[in-house]
Structures are given as structure tokens and as C-alpha cells.
Chains A and B, each alone.
Chain A
Amino acid sequence: DVKVTQSSRYLVKRTGEKVFLECVQDMDHENMFWYRQDPGLGLRLIYFSYDVKMKEKGDIPEGYSVSREKKERFSLILESASTNQTSMYLCASSSGLASSYNEQFFGPGTRLTVL
């Protein structure tokens, strides 16, 4: 089974802190994604990566950055956390093979609260 793990289930940080959210997948997937989920807005794509050291902006990249130094690990960084970044953050991965039809596999999520 594909497993996507996230470093924390719950996280509480203060405004202005630098925050790191870590995601690891064990299926040798090429693609990795970070979403934030807010009530009524569904999942919104922050950043994604299709290869090591490659990254692409999603729909809402402002205030975030990412790092992918190893194929299995994709980190989301909040350079200076703000209260409007309080949200559920979901990491996902998918195979780069055409036969996967872009099916994504999700981690359990990190609920981040910024005070």
C-alpha cells in the first residue's frame, strides 16, 4: 500500500514564526503536492513538484515556499506564519506514469493553528 506520512497531526505556532511541514511517501512517486483545505473552499493547491529540486506554483503560493531535496520528501515552509494560514494542510503524491491517470494518494493532514 502507498503510504504518505506527515510529520505532525496538530501544530500550534505563533505569528511570525517559521513553520516547516514535512511529508514523506514510500512509493517512489515522482509527483508531490501540498494543498490547504478550508471549509467551503475544498482543496486548494499551494505548490507541487514533479521531480527532485523542481517545483511549480499552484493556485495560492503566496506566503509559502517548498523544498524537495529527495524524491520521497516534500517540505512546505511558512516563512513568517500569519493567522490567515490557520488551516488543514494535506500532502499528496502520484506516480508520473501515464497509466496512473494522476491518481493522488493523501497523507492524514496537519491541522495548523497560528496564534
Chain B
Amino acid sequence: AQSVTQLDSHVSVSEGTPVLLRCNYSSSYSPSLFWYVQHPNKGLQLLLKYTTGATLVKGINGFEAEFKKSETSFHLTKPSAHMSDAAEYFCAVSDSRGYQKVTFGTGTKLQVIP
């Protein structure tokens, strides 16, 4: 079985300061991991994904995430927050055995304070 835990339901940062959104996963097989962003009343947009290879993954809008197998984590970071980063972020996991389902976390709402 696969599962995802997003450790914070809300995160608040000041504009220009670093962002850290935490995600832990559980998977019986080699996982694929995703971060999606959702702006108000919109669908989900893929920020970045880890499938195989390099464990530090770079995504759009300056975000990156590091796959740490020993810690079963896939935290999302950004060096400097912009006002436009205010949104809800979802971590997701899918195992690699060909099963099509993806399991999503409950989301982290990021507030950026001017």
C-alpha cells in the first residue's frame, strides 16, 4: 500500500524568505513522487516529479525537492518566496509496479506575507 503524509496543513512565510513544505511517503515498491500546486478555483498543476536517477529534482518557478529514501521524505523547497507562490500544494506518490493509482496528501496551504 502507498500513502503520503504532509506534515503541515498551513505554512506562512514572508516574501523573500525560504519555503519548506514537508512530505513523507510510504510505498512497498520503488516510488514515483510528485508535487502539484493548486491556485484558488483551479485544477492541479505539476511542479516537479521524481521517478528514477538524480535525487534532487528541479521544477518550475524555482522549486526543487530531494528524494531521501532513508528518511522516506520528499520535501519541497524554494530559496525565496514570491507573492505568486501563495497556493495549496499537494504531495503524491505512485509505486512503480504498473498500477495506475496515485495517492495524494491532504495538502499544505502556503501563505506569503508581504
Q: What is the interface of chain B mostly: helix, strand, loop, or mixed?
A: loop
Is B45 part of the binding interface, using a Cβ–Cβ cutoff of 8 Å?
A: yes
Q: Would A50 and B100 count as touching, CB distance under 8 A?
A: yes
Q: Contacts A40-B9, A101-B32, A101-B96; is A45 near B41 (CB within 8 Å)?
A: no
Cβ of A83 < 8 Å from any Cβ of B?
no
Interface size in chain B (residues, C-beta < 8 A): 25
CB distance from B23 to the nearest CB of A (A): 12
Instruction: Give Cα A38 to B49, complex, Å.
Output: 24
Q: Give A contacts to B, CB under 8 Å.
A: 4, 9, 31, 35, 40-43, 45, 48, 50, 58, 90, 92, 94, 96, 98, 101-109, 111
| B contact set with A: CB distance below 8 Å | 9, 32, 34, 36, 41-46, 49, 51, 90, 92, 94, 96, 98-102, 104-107
